Amino acid sequence: MNTIDLAKNIELEGKAFYEKLAADSPIPALSGIFSLLAKEEQQHYNVFDAWEKENRGSAPAAGTAGAEAKRIFSRLSVPFTLPQVAYDYGRAYGTALDMERKSIALYENMLAESVSADDKKVFSFLISEEQKHEHLVEHLLEFVNEPKEFLENAEFNHL
């Protein structure tokens, strides 16, 4: 399997995983965040699919999952009570974090092997996007583990 196929597979796995988390989440706000992440993984897949077809273009617009997560969390009330079932999702969120880190490592290797300035630009963009996802998932883990403390930070500067 070549690196483009590997990257496409990683993005499809990420999309499917986030879609499952969105469907299974007992918290509608988190479901929305996971749906956004799934959508962004599809956009990343589309970049690699176009490359495979020799339609190398510029990187797509930056994702909005981080900004949307801030908006979603700001609407949750501070006396929020996390449903007990959500505590089981800590392991799933950890898996999501591992997936994001795997993507980052692959794209960093692809960037290092790139010759074209356009390719370097797109890989740098994808690395940045996956790092944003990694950061968001880290904070979702924090939210699941300590929801009251997380929501008390009304500024959500940590997102």
Q: What is the mean pLDDT of residues 31-60?
A: 80
pLDDT at residue 5, rounded to an integer: 84
- Nearest 5°: the CA angle 116, 101, 152 is 125
First to last CA, the chain: 35
Q: Say how far apart CA 156 and CA 148 lie, in whole Å.
A: 13
Q: Which amino acid type is present at position 36?
A: L
pLDDT at 63 over 80: no
Whether 27 and 82 have beta carbons less than 8 Å apart is answered as: yes
Mean pLDDT of 89-116: 89
Is residue 86 very low, low, confident or very high in pLDDT (cuts 50, 70, 90)? very low
3-class DSSP state of 82: coil
Confidence of residue 65 (pLDDT cuts 50, 70, 90): low
Residue 87 binned pLDDT confidence (cut-offs 50, 70, 90): very low
CA distance 83 to 8: 35
Token pair, residue 115, equals 């010759």
* CA atoms of 158 and 13, how far apart (whole Å): 27
Q: Specify the pTM.
A: 0.73
- When the pLDDT of each residue in the chain is averaged and rounded to a whole number, the result is 77
pLDDT confidence tier of residue 66, bands split at 50, 70 and 90:
low
3-152 classified as CATH 1.20.1260.10 = yes
Only one residue has tokens 């799934």, namely 38
**Could you tell me how far CA 141 lies from the centroid of its own chain?**
13
